[in-house]
Amino acid sequence: MKKAAIIMGSDSDLPVVQKAIDQFKAFGVPYEVHIYSAHRTPEEAASFVKNARKNGFGVILAFAGMAAHLAGACAANTTLPVIGVPCKGGALDGLDALLSTVQMPSGIPVATVALNGGANAALLAMEMLAIEHEELAALLAEKRAKDSAAVLKKDAEIASNL
Ligand code: RP5
């Protein structure tokens, strides 16, 4: 299976990144984690992303806060799908990161998930990898069924208890 690349702008983004790691671990999907900043280590970030396809990656997750240009900078250097995760923090508490990640100019797409949406970023990445991997697609469907069953169980409990 192709690997997922997880790139964070700073180690201060790690709590949000951990949510993605937990999902990849639960599904047994291979991943690599790196700290590359679009402004502090721009050359390393670009070089990693430029080589990502030939190094066996199928999708890139970019986590960043504040003036978060990491996902866009990654997308500029590859045609692999890039999922941007805006992280909360700073004076605007993430609104700046959300807008700079989601509002990409036409031509360089970034699939942006919710603020601090590390888990959904991993799930979306795995849905992409599952296009060519039926076993992973079946595991994702199983999770959906389990999640639905858990809600229906709560519905039955609340209906009988209230
Ligand atoms: C961004 O600036 C990082 O992604 C992080 O969310 C934010 C703050 O970074 P630190 O100052 O905590 O390293 O580049």
Which of 66, 69, 74 has most ligand 1 atoms within 8 Å of CB, for mutation? 66
Q: pLDDT tens digits, the chain, 162 residues: what are they?
A: 999 999 999 999 999 999 999 999 999 999 999 999 999 999 999 999 999 999 999 999 999 999 999 999 999 999 999 999 999 999 999 999 999 999 999 999 999 999 999 999 999 999 999 999 999 999 999 999 999 999 999 999 998 998
Candidates 116, 144, 117, 151; CA nearest to 27 is 144
Q: Give residue 129 CA to ligand 1 midpoint distance, Å.
A: 28
First to last CA, the chain: 47
State whether the beta carbon of 117 lies less than 6 angstroms from ligand 1. no
- Note whether 58 and 50 are within 8 A (CB): no
- Please give the pLDDT value at position 162: 86
**53/150 Cα distance (integer angstroms):** 38
Radius of gyration of the chain (CA): 17
| Burial annotation 118-148 (CB, 10 A radius, 16+ → b, else e) | bbbbbbbbbebbbeebeebeebbeeeeeeee
14 contacts 41 by C-beta, under 8 angstroms: no
User: What is the pLDDT at residue 46?
Assistant: 98
Query: What pLDDT sits at residue 3?
Result: 98
12: DSSP letter: G
Pocket test for ligand 1, best of 7, 8, 11, 12 (most atoms within 8 A of CB): 12
**Range list of β-strands (E), the chain:** 3-8, 31-35, 57-65, 82-87, 111-112
Residue 141 tokens, joined: 């469907």
Ligand 1 touching residue 66 (CB < 6 A): yes
